[in-house]
Amino acid sequence: MNARYIVGRLLQALLVVIGVSFIVFIVSRLSGDPAVLMAAPGTTERDLQALRERLGLDQPLVLQYLRFLAGVAVGDFGISIWQNQPALGLVLERMPYTILLTCTALAFALAVAFPAGIVSALARRTWWDQLVMLIALVGQAVPVFWLGLMLILVFAENLLWLPSSGSGTWRHLILPSITLGAFSMARTARLVRSGMLEVLGQDYIRTARAKGLTRGGVVLRHALKN
């Protein structure tokens, strides 16, 4: 891997980020006049025009976007249209919750995927293997937003076991963590199963079994390491 390849990949990533940010910027403007959304009810047209001029909303969209990029380069992400507050401050305020939710979703995915994938490989062509693969297939196919809605309807609205929103306790993390971690869990379980089946078919595994090691011993001493 040479320096030219690394620089090329970084430039590609930069272009993707710029392209995505431009699309999001344009789509955000389709929701309506930002000045009207930010202003209080009853604001006069004169005050709205003054707000547009102060925020640069009277300029062409391309110039607005370039101004946004220039601000991002110095750490200024502009003003939130909905909250009418500095966008960076709002992001930093919610960052701890985002990190916590990401970690719990990852922990859920790994805690379920590895045991399920290993047992599925060991129980190949059994009902357990078919069940795990069916769940993994559904987990990769179902849209995340739909899964989240179904979990809320079942466990929050109907059974009343878990809260549908809010934060502050571990119970608030369960449904979002399952929702966010479901796809990763399903994909990882299939990868673990595939890897275990490949390892279990190696010659040294058959040699270990021929020497008298139990199936569990072979898995713990040899298969899991590889």
Predicted TM-score (pTM) above 0.85: no
Two structure tokens written together for 96: 């701890």
Please enumerate in sequence order all residues whose Cβ is within 8 A of that of 193, keeping only pairs 6 or more positions apart, or say none. Answer: 117, 118, 120, 121, 129, 132, 133
**pLDDT value of residue 28:** 79
Two structure tokens written together for 138: 């559904």
User: Burial of 43 by CB count in 10 Å (0-12 exposed, 13-18 middle, 19+ buried)?
Assistant: middle
User: Which residue do the tokens 């990763």 mark?
Assistant: 184
**pLDDT value of residue 180:** 93
Vertex 171, ends 165 and 172: CA angle to 5°?
25
User: Do 32 and 57 touch, CB atoms closer than 8 A?
Assistant: no
CA 223 to each of CA 122, 179, 186: distance values in angstroms, whole numbers, following the listed order: 11, 31, 21
Secondary structure (3-state) at 178? helix
Pairwise CA distance, residues 146 & 151, whole Å: 9
Tens digit of pLDDT at every position of the chain (226 positions): 577 888 888 889 989 988 998 898 888 777 777 777 777 777 888 888 888 888 787 888 888 888 888 888 888 888 777 777 888 888 888 899 899 999 999 999 999 999 998 888 888 889 988 998 999 999 899 999 999 999 999 998 898 898 888 877 889 899 999 999 999 999 999 998 988 888 777 766 666 666 666 666 666 665 666 5
Two structure tokens written together for 30: 């389709």
**pLDDT value of residue 183:** 93
